[in-house]
Structure 1
């Protein structure tokens, strides 16, 4: 198994006009492997162009709205885990969706299919929820925030190409974050006033996450949308002003 730098070097040799045999002599890679790379006959492999981040040159995944939404889902409450034989380097993207929101489950399935159209998406029943998962060698390339330990115990920062997508699609990114780890509901208030007890309620959004970095990314995306927000608690963002809630409703709305 060769790493991507070797493959890119060999392909550059071929583009320069060298034959397969000459590229093999200069690189030490077998001629059969070079022909496979040239013809891209290896299915769903990091050596092929099936993953935009493994292409030569690498480019951003598409469609951008689906990727921004999926990134939000993953950062909010998703995980990557290796499955099967470690030598095969296959990963599962798993996102848990409550049974109470079938529309969210459908959106999660659609986003995974859009970003990795050649991979099967499974909906696995669990108690009170569904696990939406998809296997691919490329998930760590597409979601490079993966790493050992819990998200809040390590630095979470977007790569430049991810920032470009989120900057262009902040509404889809925030929608993914709130669909996975937030909600829109009514805040009920009971206050004792000189004239008696007053009870009232108002709609608001909350996004809760233990990672200060992910909270920061949510706040940055809300700023791009022009949505006023504040830290309601150490690990929680609140959007409660009436005009801010109305604006965020255009991009998120209640879970369904």
Structure 2
């Protein structure tokens, strides 16, 4: 009846069965197959490419910056903390999670920020950098397949990194007795490994950078800022 196009409400009335029973018959097996076999591209045999590699690279950058993967619960929980002033950024994180395969995304409001959260069994498959303790106190190394994806979309990874731990601002200096204003970027992270991942992605994009401090990367030259604007730009 369903294959013939009979509406769901008419099916359960004609058969004299509850809506839940008919729904289980029609959708439970399909949903289970969709979630395990189709939606987790790392669990396929052999593993396959995701449908949206660019969104994965963006989410990877957000995770390396302000993300946290909790695996002590029955279903792993990925949380990305976002400044509540930037609703567009929150929307982009939400889209990246769903593009990677998660079905439902939730939000938890805290003072000054909104945490974008999603439970999914397969987050550890997609984010093998998870582990106990703070990221800067443990080794963070991309796998071969992650390096392949980042090599294809370094701009999306950089966008995720700068949207989490980066900033674009107007620098004000006095040059030859006159005030001078120009845009620049900073990326701040305590992890040497994450900083190196950011540096390598910027090198791929041909963006000049320098280390202003031990934990602060700066992009300040006019051409480099203009190039980085193509991938990041002001937060919104």
Normalising by the residue count of structure 1, what TM-score does the alignment of the two structures yield?
Answer: 0.76
Tell me, in whole angstroms, the C-alpha distance in 1 between the residues paired with 2:228 and 2:162: 11
Tell me, in whole angstroms, the C-alpha distance in 1 between the residues paired with 2:138 and 2:72: 23
Contact 1:60 1:161 survives alignment (8 Å): no
Per-residue CA distance 1:72-95 (angstroms, 9 max, x = gap): 0000110100364xxx4x111100
Tell me, in whole angstroms, the C-alpha distance in 1 between the residues paired with 2:211 and 2:117: 32
Alpha-carbon shift at residue 43 of structure 1 (Å):
6.9
Contact 1:91 1:137 survives alignment (8 Å): yes
Alpha-carbon shift at residue 190 of structure 1 (Å):
3.5
Choose from 145, 150, 156 the match for 2:134. Answer: 150
Per-residue CA distance 1:141-189 (angstroms, 9 max, x = gap): 1000001111111111100110011000011000000001101111122
CA root-mean-square deviation: 1.8
- Which residue of the partner structure matches residue 211 of structure 2? 231
Alpha-carbon shift at residue 44 of structure 1 (Å):
4.1
- Which residue of the partner structure matches residue 99 of structure 2? 114
Q: Is 1:253 equivalent to 2:224 in the alignment?
A: no
1:217 partner SS: helix
Q: Is 1:81 equivalent to 2:70 in the alignment?
A: yes
Q: Is 1:136 equivalent to 2:116 in the alignment?
A: no
Structure 1 gap ranges (5+): 1-38
Say if 1:83 and 1:238 are closer, same or farther in 2 by CA, change over 3 A.
Answer: same
- Which residue of the partner structure matches residue 98 of structure 1? 83
- Which residue of the partner structure matches residue 5 of structure 1? none
Per-residue CA distance 1:14-47 (angstroms, 9 max, x = gap): xxxxxxxxxxxxxxxxxxxxxxxxx9956745xx
- Which residue of the partner structure matches residue 33 of structure 1? none
Per-residue CA distance 1:204-252 (angstroms, 9 max, x = gap): 0111000011010001000111111111110011100000000111111
Say if 1:240 and 1:82 are closer, same or farther in 2 by CA, change over 3 A.
Answer: same
User: What is the number of equivalent residue pairs in this alignment?
Assistant: 207
Q: Is 1:207 equivalent to 2:196 in the alignment?
A: no
Say if 1:40 and 1:135 are closer, same or farther in 2 by CA, change over 3 A.
Answer: closer
Tell me, in whole angstroms, the C-alpha distance in 2 between the residues paired with 1:110 and 1:50: 15
- Which residue of the partner structure matches residue 125 of structure 1? 109
